[in-house]
Each structure stands twice: as structure tokens, then as C-alpha cells.
Chains A and B, each alone.
Chain A
Amino acid sequence: MPEYLVKENALADFFRELTQDRRLLTPQGQGENCRLEETDPSKVSLEYTNTHKSPKECFFPQTEKLLAFSKEADKPHPNEYRDLGDKAVATVIFGLRPCDARGLCVADKVFQNDRFTDPYWKGKYEKTLKIGLACLNPSPQCFCAAMGGSPFGEAGLDVLAYPRDKGLGLKTLTEAGEALIKTTKAEPGDLKSEIADLEKKAIEAQGPIDHFVAINERKIMELYKAPHWPTTAEPCLGCGVCTFFCPTCHCFDIQDEANERGGIRMRNWDTCMSALFTQHGSGHNPRPSKTERIRQRFMHKLKYIPIKQDGVRGCTGCGRCVVMCPANIDIRSVAALMAQTQAS
């Protein structure tokens, strides 16, 4: 797929052209206030580190009402389910960081695969074109390259953009992305070697972390039975911050809120850090303490998901949990302990 250029003075027109028949979401605000918002094409910013929350909520909101039911015989449609899922709107997201786009791919394989299709995710995901913004200067907490990604990673994106002379360099990655850029006045240009140089520099700025690779070589039960889990878990508060902010965490809880007249069915983000997550109706809990819960989170990210998803980890190195865990349980340190596990 080819590359294109957008000059500084053509940027506003470019974003206007992108959004002719779809809404535009871009990161707005700084730091903890940075979030994906519907944006006027003249107000797109390239000056942000990353959104505070991951973009998963665009497709998998924290609370999504799925359907309604009524038992009242004298009202329309008694005893029928009525669809309430969020309506999918044609959208282009500009400014996804490659780590987050990759995170969406991991979640997408959970919501759409050869066994299940989740209509609520699918509807929104299929109607969204995704333009990434590569990271020329990765943040100190970033480690996407160690997770098999790159500051110029392409997974999950239709187009990859990067800041270039106050304008943009673009590389189209899918046919849909190519068709989208063709609707704009972006000029063709050969940027292959420039992108390769910038990518190399950005990866070098992150520095290598080797222990994630070593985990691949350990057997599941060796890791599972490793002696460090109780001490790794000891400072854990059991809040859900790591899971709620994670771009790949996708677990949910289906709840009916109903009374004698009817009600609604909704799904809400859930978190494996909560004891309630695995509490059985019998009262038994297979993950009774935070040791089992912490082990599950890291095993899921670094071992189980790679097994199910052809080696792709359930962590993309975005660094949100690293920065936001109140007790500083750092996945890089936990991975180092897992990598040190002795073969049995």
C-alpha cells in the first residue's frame, strides 16, 4: 500500500474531507483529561501522549444496554425482547496509538471469531475506520516493542499517520484505508525509508525488555506453580484499575435490572481483580484470594492469550496499568519474576 503526504496548510481540509459522511473521533485534552471525543475537523490536535482511557470503550462501553422486555399485556410488544444496543454510526477515529489499535485486535478476536460473533461489538467495529498516529517519542512507561508491537505498529489500523513538518505522513494499510485517503487531497509520496528510520529510532528509545520472551519458553504449570505469586499479590488492593484501563481486557458481567413490569438487560465491564468475578452460586470461589486473582491476570495476559491468539500477548505495552496501579504492581517486574521461574 502506498504513502501520502498532507502539508500543514492542507491539514484542516484533510480532516474535513475524511469526515464527509462519517463522524470524527480524536483525542482531545491533555494528561488525565485526554479522551476520544467527536471533533470538529478544524480542532484536531497532534499534541497528546495518549488517551487516559483505552479506546475499547468506543466499541465496548463500560455499560451497554442490550435489550428491554416488558410483561405488561396492555403495552406494545409485551413479552418480546426489544434491541437496545448502541446504534453503530459511521466513524473515523484519528489518532489511535499503535499499542491501542493492537489492543483492539486482541479484543476483536474475543468478540468476533469462528465460534461467536458479538453483534454489539461487530456493529460498531465494522463501521469504524481507524487511523493511527505513530509515536515519534514514546513515553517513559511505554514498552510496545517488547510486546511484539512497534511505535509505528500497523495492526488493527486502516491508515498509519505520523507528524511530519507540522503536517502528516500517511501509510495506507487496508483497502478501506486506501479508499478513504483517496477521497482526500493527500499527495502521494515515497516515505518508506523515512518511516523505517523513524521507527528504528523510536524502538531504540524504548530499550529492550527480554523477559517477556523468556516466558514463552516456560510451561504453563511451571509458571502457575511459581513461588512468587503470594508476594507479588501482597500489595494488591484488589481494585479494578488495571483491568478497566487495559486496552485488551474485555470481561463483562450481564445484569438484568427488572421489576414486575419488565426491565432491561445490560452488560457492564467486570474485573478479575474482584472476588465477586468468580464467586459461584454455591458460595464456592475458585479464586478465593488475591494471589489467585493476580496470578490469573498475568497468566492470562502473558501466557493464555498468546496460546489462543497465535503468540500475540494480551498486553500491548501501553503502560497504563504500570502508571496507574495504586500499589505499583508493574507488569514488567512481574514478567521478570515469571521469566525467572525454574523449569520443573
Chain B
Amino acid sequence: MSNLDTLTQKIREKAKSLLEGGQADVVIGYRTGTVPLMAAPFFARTPQDCDQLVWSSFARLNLANYLPGRTEKVALVAKGCDARNAVGQVAENQYPKDKLFILGVPCSGQVDAAKVAAKEPRPIQTSEETDDSIKLTGPGYSTDLKKEDVLRRNCLTCAHRTPTLANELVGPEVPSLPTDDFSDLTALLAKSSEERLTYFKDLIKDCLRCYACRNACPLCYCPVCFVDETRPQWLGKSTDPMDTMTFHLLRGLHCAGRCTACGACETACPVNIKVREFNRVLDKTVKENWSYEPGLAWDQKPPLTVYQPNDPADFIK
């Protein structure tokens, strides 16, 4: 039995026992998608439902996104990033800790559908995975890809692949990756501020303002987002580049020090914008200034939301 099958089996068993034992009203996990390369969010409420739960490398959305506002007791099937965001939801008072059961899945990384499409541009009919490869079939062809060649870029620098604060892990820990040195940002950060502005303008030139990035993000739980404010309206509704940039910059700053690099925003983006680039720069800033990583403690507040009298910065005194 492959490791994936074992994890699927364990998730189903544990999900059933949590529902039957009354520890959870709903298990939020993944089911097999109706299209290739897709594991879809799935809400299991009965033991029979649990047989649809699966583990795969196509589980790209962050399920902690479904916690805020929920009144039921939730068992959350969680990768390392999802688990950290669930902890963040508790720390930011979006979901009560006593109703949450984190069913942690040690994660070896999730597959980037765009990278797959770059390697196999033909229409894909089916995708089957083993622990380290993906078999794609389409009209008149079959292709094998190595998973490690098509992982999402955020998964390649993941700091906590094994969930850190899970109630239970469904499998053995996976080896840690080398510490993220943010070397991919070297070229960007060497640019002048004008050049960086040009870079970011170009990055978002195809943005449709569909807000899939925001809506897939577990940090974006505001009841009304600033872009949706109408009385008064804060932001234009057109594809005006300045309005679009304002959205991305403000969202980036709202998420500074809270982002776990889960990559759900980039997964959801229909035009393949590397949305995380905004946050990646901010992640580095926060880590360097406050030695802070989000989602590693239940009572840890994001550094940009707290004030301490001994703050070393001058501006606030």
C-alpha cells in the first residue's frame, strides 16, 4: 500500500471515530476532484461521508479558510500550513480552540497544476499518483512526471511540513527542508524602488479583480473587505492599474507576519499571478525584524498587531 493510501485510510478511520464519538460535528478534508490534478474541499458529516475523504498531492486549498464564523465542532484535515493557519485563527479569535481538532497530515508538498501544464501541454484526461510520480493520460498519450519536478514553489521552501500543533498526526513526520534563505528574492530586493514598482505592476497586469486570492486566503476573514466598502466606497471597481495595485498592496500589508506561505492564493488565481510575491517580501521582513513565524503557538499575536513599550523602533515613542 502506498503512503498516500495509508494516509487516506488513517484519515477516514480517524474522521469516523471523531464523528461517532461526538468530538466533531464535521470533518473538513478533501475528496477526489471531478477533474484531473484536483482534490476538492469536502465536508464529511456522517461516517458514510468519510469514505470519500482522500489524501493526495492535489490538496492545494487551505482548509483553515473554512473555520471563521463556523459554530460546529470541526476536525480539520491539515497540512503543515493549514494547521498553522488554524492556530492563527484561534490566536486571532476567529474560531474557538476547544471546538477544533487538528488532524495533521505530514505533507511532502503539493503539485502545481501550472507546472504540470508546462511539462504536459496536451489536454489531460486523467491523473493518477503514486508516492513520487504522477501518471497523466489524454487523447492518445500517457506521460509520467516526477512529483518533485512539479511541486509548488512555496512547498519547496516550506518550514513546517509536519504540522506543529496537531491534536493527532495521521502519519510519521516527514523530513524537514533546509531553512528558507529567501534567496529567490535576492534579485528583486537588489532593484531600486522604481524598478520594484515596475516589477510588481507587471506582476499584476492580468489581474481581473475576481478576488479568488483573497477568498482562498485564511487570513482574509474580514466581514467586509475594504475593496467592498460602499459607504463610502474606498476603491474603484474597474481594471484601473492603480486600483488593482492598491488592492494587492493593502492585502499584502494586512497579511504581513500572518502568512504561512500555504500558496492557496496562487492556486486559486485564474490567471497565474504570483500573488505570494508581495507576501514573500513581507515574510522576510517580519522574520528578520521580529524572529517571528506565524501559527506556532496558540496565544502568539502577529507582531504588527501588538505594541510593546520596549519596542526598539523610534517612530512610536
Binding site for B on A (CB under 8 A): 30-32, 49, 52, 62-63, 137, 139-141, 231, 234-235, 237-241, 244-245, 253, 255, 257, 266, 268-269, 271, 274-276, 279, 322-324, 326-328, 330, 332-333
Contact = CB atoms under 8 A, between A and B. Distances in A.
A63 B38 CA distance: 32
Contacts of B124: 140
Nearest to A257: B236
Given A235-B42, A276-B230, A241 B139 contact: no
A213 B301 CA distance: 54
Contact of A322 (B34, B65, B237, B267): B34
Interface string B21-38: 000000000000111101
A271 B210 contact: yes
Given A31-B117, A49-B123, A239-B215, A62 B208 contact: yes
30 contacts: A30-B121, A31-B117, A32-B117, A49-B123, A52-B271, A63-B238, A63-B239, A139-B123, A140-B35, A141-B35, A231-B43, A234-B43, A235-B41, A237-B65, A239-B215, A240-B208, A240-B210, A241-B210, A244-B210, A253-B237, A266-B238, A271-B210, A274-B228, A322-B34, A323-B35, A326-B212, A326-B264, A328-B33, A328-B35, A332-B34
A6 to B, nearest CB: 26
A330 B34 contact: yes
A325 to B, nearest CB: 9
Given A239-B211, A266-B238, A140 B40 contact: no
Nearest to B37: A323
Interface residues of B, number: 40
A235 B22 CA distance: 23
Contact of B114 (A32, A231, A328): A32
Contacts of A333: 34
A140 B228 contact: no
A84 to B, nearest CB: 13
Contacts of A328: 33-35, 38, 40-41
B169 interface: no
Nearest to A319: B35
Interface in B197-215: 208, 210-212, 214-215
Mostly helix, strand, loop or mixed at chain B's interface? loop
Contact of A326 (B36, B42, B268): B268
Interface in B234-279: 236-240, 264, 267-268, 270-272
B286 to A, nearest CB: 26
Given A238-B215, A268-B237, A327-B61, 13 more contacts: A32-B271, A231-B43, A237-B65, A240-B211, A240-B212, A241-B270, A253-B237, A268-B239, A274-B228, A326-B264, A327-B40, A327-B41, A328-B40
Nearest to B60: A326
A330 B35 CA distance: 9
Top 9 closest A-B pairs, CB basis?
A328-B40, A239-B212, A326-B268, A63-B238, A237-B215, A235-B41, A240-B210, A330-B34, A139-B123
Contacts of B214: 239
Given A140-B123, A237-B215, A266-B238, A326 B210 contact: no
Contacts, number: 100
A92 B134 CA distance: 42
Contacts of B43: 231, 234-235
Contacts of A239: 210-212, 214-216, 268
B138 interface: yes
Nearest to A65: B238
B125 interface: yes
B46 to A, nearest CB: 12
A66 B292 CA distance: 49
A85 B210 CA distance: 23
Nearest to A327: B41
A113 to B, nearest CB: 26
B205 to A, nearest CB: 13
B238 A255 contact: yes
B150 to A, nearest CB: 15
B239 A62 contact: yes
Contacts of A276: 228, 230
B166 to A, nearest CB: 22
Given A235-B40, A239-B268, A276-B228, A63 B121 contact: no
A330 B270 CA distance: 16
Nearest to B58: A328
B212 A237 contact: yes
A266 B236 CA distance: 10
A253 B210 CA distance: 14
Contacts of B117: 31-32
A32 B121 CA distance: 10
A32 B34 contact: no
B9 to A, nearest CB: 22
Contacts of A274: 211, 228
Contacts of B38: 328
Contact of A31 (B36, B65, B121): B121
Interface in B60-105: 61, 65-66
A245 B270 contact: yes
Contacts of B272: 32
Contacts of B42: 235
A255 B40 contact: no
B127 to A, nearest CB: 11
B215 A140 contact: no
Contacts of A324: 270
A32 B286 CA distance: 34
A141 B240 CA distance: 33
Contacts of A49: 123
Nearest to B139: A137
Contacts of B237: 253, 255, 268
A140 B139 CA distance: 9
A328 B34 CA distance: 7
